[in-house]
């Protein structure tokens, strides 16, 4: 565990309080309406507190007084970086760095208290469970902030988490419930439950979740973590995939089927959790609402049920979600981002309104110079095509799932549920795909899971026939048409600008001729597109 002092290179600010009572008075002056400023002030005061030779019990009382405003400030700061495209822009990266740094300062404070507890300080001896719980919770929060930016959790954080839980077991308070205001559903929790919550979040594969889904899962785990036990011995054979964790290791959960029993292994008993998930899914199928089942007033069907089914597979059928073999590959592929770029690369030319031969800029060039300048051509191509990057295909499946590696030097931003165009090295055709999951490695490389849509896209132009989207007007917009595919059976679909879909709307489709299509059903609601089935009328 990291108990190192604050770096001497930092110029410490004067501590504004000397005990918990004066700390509470000082907190009344904290500018909670200015989150960046409040973060900066809290970080500076925690750093000064950690450098102060304070009695361990008084240090603990001060940290407890700071905990609620700290949680509020950090919860608000999340909005600056959670779910943002990668790599984060400078503002997002700064906000993430400051949030993690503030958690680390708080962790150092509690670790100083934990150090005193381990050294048998009599004043903090009765509070060992509370102190260890706070350290586990903060470590879990730092991990969650990693997931919110699709960032891989490094070995140091996992090692810290495992050591904290091992200490709780060693001192016999792992399952003792202590007060914890972080819990919104149940104010009592234990070190074991906090530890299990961090393990299950990782086992759920948060790199495939939207930030909204992550928040739902984190909230549900607060009420479900008590359904999971940690056992020192292998569990009886059951339909649930055996999962374990190594308390001496520096990684998350492990598939336990091939592991030899060791003193440091703890096996996750997931039977109660599996029953609870099955029951909740069945009740949703019967018509009960997520709110009635305690899943949150904001949760909606059918997305709530779909997420629960995914969690059941990840937690209780771990490793069985991939129903087909993935083959390794050394292949390169060219990748572009969004409808405009794919449209350009499919057609090989800049988009123009149907019925016109030149853009306004090209017409100006013709009037002024008698020809289209290379500068105009480069500008149009740049505007249309965006960035074309070379990625590596690490492995692939027959149904169109690709695991791809993007190098750190790539500049364009990439986001969860974003539309991609992918052209394999041996092909001239671009295929459409969706960013299914993202994982930013410590090296700076980004692993991207891409799900390709069936069929070869055709570049088309569309405009509203009976509605007026944002921006209005009767101009055509770029879109992509995917043909009907017999195997796997997939109807013809159209990829539209985001926000265009509503069942029953009509769009005018321009290919070689003009047609009117009715939008029928939404298949994908991406970050930057709508994909819908259509019928030609």
DSSP string, 320-348: -S--S--EE---EEEEEEHHHHHHHHHHT
State the Cα torsion 191-194-197-198 to the nearest 10°: -100
User: How many Å apart are CA 135 and CA 1, to the nearest integer?
Assistant: 10
Same domain as 370, residue 492: no
pLDDT at 6: 41
Other residues' Cβ atoms within 10 Å of the Cβ of residue 395: 13
User: How many Å apart are CA 111 and CA 3, to the nearest integer?
Assistant: 6
Same domain as 474, residue 413: no
Residue 241 in contact with residue 203, Cβ under 8 Å?
no
Same domain as 526, residue 419: no
Residue 457 in contact with residue 492, Cβ under 8 Å?
no
Two tokens, residue 415? 């986001």
Alpha helices in 225-288 (DSSP H): 271-285
Please check whether residue 497 lies inside any domain of the structure.
yes
User: How many Å apart are CA 20 and CA 38, to the nearest integer?
Assistant: 19
pLDDT at 366: 74
- Cβ burial, residue 510 (10 Å; 0-12/13-18/19+): middle
Please check whether residue 60 lies inside any domain of the structure.
yes
Same domain as 117, residue 30: yes
- Give yes or no for a cis peptide into 302 (omega within 30° of 0): yes
Same domain as 143, residue 22: yes
Residue that the structure tokens 């985001």 belong to:
498
Residue 356, CA atoms < 13 Å, CB-side half-sphere: 13
Pairing of strands 332-337, 265-269: unpaired
Please check whether residue 239 lies inside any domain of the structure.
no
The whole domain housing 105 covers 1-169
Residue that the structure tokens 């990693």 belong to:
146
Please check whether residue 304 lies inside any domain of the structure.
no
Same domain as 162, residue 29: yes
Two tokens, residue 24? 């509470």
Same domain as 57, residue 137: yes
Same domain as 336, residue 462: no
Residue 216 in contact with residue 294, Cβ under 8 Å?
no
Given 437, 469, 500, which residue is the final one in a domain? 437
Please check whether residue 306 lies inside any domain of the structure.
no
Given 142, 169, 196, which residue is the final one in a domain? 169
Q: What is the pLDDT along the chain (537 residues), one digit of tens a residue?
A: 444 444 444 578 899 998 999 999 999 999 999 999 999 999 999 999 999 999 999 999 999 999 999 999 999 999 999 999 999 999 999 999 999 999 999 999 999 999 999 999 999 999 999 999 999 999 999 999 999 999 999 999 999 999 999 999 999 999 999 875 444 445 578 999 999 999 999 999 999 999 999 999 999 999 999 999 999 999 998 989 999 999 999 999 999 888 899 999 999 999 999 999 999 999 999 999 999 999 999 989 999 999 999 999 999 987 554 444 455 567 899 999 999 999 999 988 878 778 766 666 767 777 777 776 766 666 655 555 567 888 999 888 876 788 988 877 777 889 999 999 999 988 889 999 999 999 999 888 899 999 999 999 999 999 988 766 655 557 889 999 999 888 778 888 999 999 999 999 999 898 877 889 899 999 989 999 999 999 887
User: How many Å apart are CA 487 and CA 483, to the nearest integer?
Assistant: 12
pLDDT at 328: 59
Residue 469 in contact with residue 519, Cβ under 8 Å?
no
Q: Could you give the number of structural domains in the chain?
A: 3
Nearest Cα to Cα of residue 193 among 221, 215, 213: 221
Residue 481 in contact with residue 431, Cβ under 8 Å?
no
Residue 496 in contact with residue 532, Cβ under 8 Å?
yes
User: How many Å apart are CA 295 and CA 372, to the nearest integer?
Assistant: 60
Long-range contacts of 45-49 (CB under 8 A, 24+ apart): 45/13, 45/15, 45/16, 45/17, 46/102, 46/105, 46/106, 46/108, 46/109, 47/6, 47/10, 47/12, 47/13, 47/105, 48/12, 48/13, 48/14, 48/15, 49/15, 49/109
Same domain as 481, residue 373: no
pLDDT at 373: 72
Angle between helices 211-224 and 303-316 (to 10 degrees): 60
Same domain as 476, residue 341: no
Two tokens, residue 46? 């925690």
Please check whether residue 186 lies inside any domain of the structure.
no
User: How many Å apart are CA 359 and CA 383, to the nearest integer?
Assistant: 13
User: How many Å apart are CA 532 and CA 448, to the nearest integer?
Assistant: 24
Same domain as 410, residue 488: no
- Cβ burial, residue 101 (10 Å; 0-12/13-18/19+): middle
Given 120, 138, 169, which residue is the final one in a domain? 169
Residue 421 in contact with residue 345, Cβ under 8 Å?
yes
Please check whether residue 54 lies inside any domain of the structure.
yes
Same domain as 501, residue 398: no
Q: Sign of dihedral through CA atoms 295, 279, 175, 259? A: negative
Please check whether residue 301 lies inside any domain of the structure.
no
């Amino acid at each position: 565990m990291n108990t190192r002092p604050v770096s001497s290179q930092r110029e410490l600010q004067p501590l504004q309080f000397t005990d918990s009572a004066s700390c509470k008075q000082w907190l009344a002056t904290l500018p909670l309406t200015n989150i960046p400023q409040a973060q900066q002030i809290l970080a500076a005061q925690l750093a000064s507190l950690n450098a102060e030779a304070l009695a361990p019990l008084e240090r603990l009382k001060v940290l407890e007084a700071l905990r609620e405003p700290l949680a509020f400030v950090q919860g608000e700061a999340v909005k600056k970086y959670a779910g943002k495209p990668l790599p984060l822009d400078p503002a997002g990266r700064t906000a993430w760095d400051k949030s993690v740094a503030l958690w680390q300062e708080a962790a150092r404070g509690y670790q100083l208290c934990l150090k005193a507890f381990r050294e048998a300080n009599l004043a903090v001896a009765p509070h060992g469970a509370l102190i260890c719980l706070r350290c586990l919770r903060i470590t879990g929060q730092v991990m969650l902030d990693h997931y919110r930016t699709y960032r891989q959790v490094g070995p140091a954080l996992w090692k810290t988490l495992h050591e904290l839980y091992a200490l709780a077991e060693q001192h016999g308070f792992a399952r003792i419930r202590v007060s914890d205001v972080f819990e919104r559903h149940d104010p009592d929790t234990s070190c074991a439950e906090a530890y299990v919550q961090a393990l299950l979040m990782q086992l759920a594969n948060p790199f495939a979740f939207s930030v909204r889904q992550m928040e739902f899962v984190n909230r549900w785990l607060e009420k479900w973590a008590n359904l999971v036990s940690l056992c020192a011995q292998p569990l009886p054979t059951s339909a649930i995939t055996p999962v374990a964790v190594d308390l001496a290791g520096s990684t998350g959960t492990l598939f336990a089927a091939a592991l030899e029993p060791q003193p440091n292994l703890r096996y996750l008993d997931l039977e109660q959790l599996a029953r609870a998930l099955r029951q909740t899914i069945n009740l949703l199928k019967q018509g009960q609402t997520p709110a009635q089942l305690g899943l949150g007033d904001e949760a909606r069907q059918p997305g709530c049920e779909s997420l629960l089914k995914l969690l059941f597979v990840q937690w209780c059928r771990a490793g069985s979600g991939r129903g087909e073999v993935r083959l390794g590959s050394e292949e390169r592929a060219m990748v572009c981002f969004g409808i405009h770029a794919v449209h350009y690369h499919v057609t090989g030319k800049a988009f123009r309104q149907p019925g016109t031969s030149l853009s306004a800029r090209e017409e100006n060039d013709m009037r002024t110079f008698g020809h289209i300048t290379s500068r105009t051509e480069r500008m149009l191509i740049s505007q249309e095509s965006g960035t074309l990057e070379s990625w590596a295909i690490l492995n692939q499946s027959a149904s169109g799932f690709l695991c791809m590696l993007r190098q750190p030097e790539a500049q364009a931003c990439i986001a969860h549920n974003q539309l991609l165009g992918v052209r394999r090295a041996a092909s001239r055709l671009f295929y459409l795909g969706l960013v299914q999951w993202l994982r930013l490695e410590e090296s700076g490389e980004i692993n991207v899971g891409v799900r390709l849509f069936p069929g070869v896209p055709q570049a088309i132009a569309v405009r509203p026939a009976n509605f007026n989207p944002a921006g209005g007007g009767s101009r055509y917009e770029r879109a992509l048409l995917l043909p009907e595919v017999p195997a796997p059976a997939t109807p013809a679909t159209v990829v539209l600008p985001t926000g265009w879909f509503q069942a029953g709307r009509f769009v005018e489709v321009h290919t070689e001729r003009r047609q009117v299509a009715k939008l029928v059903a939404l298949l994908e609601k991406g970050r930057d597109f709508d994909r819908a089935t259509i019928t030609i009328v």
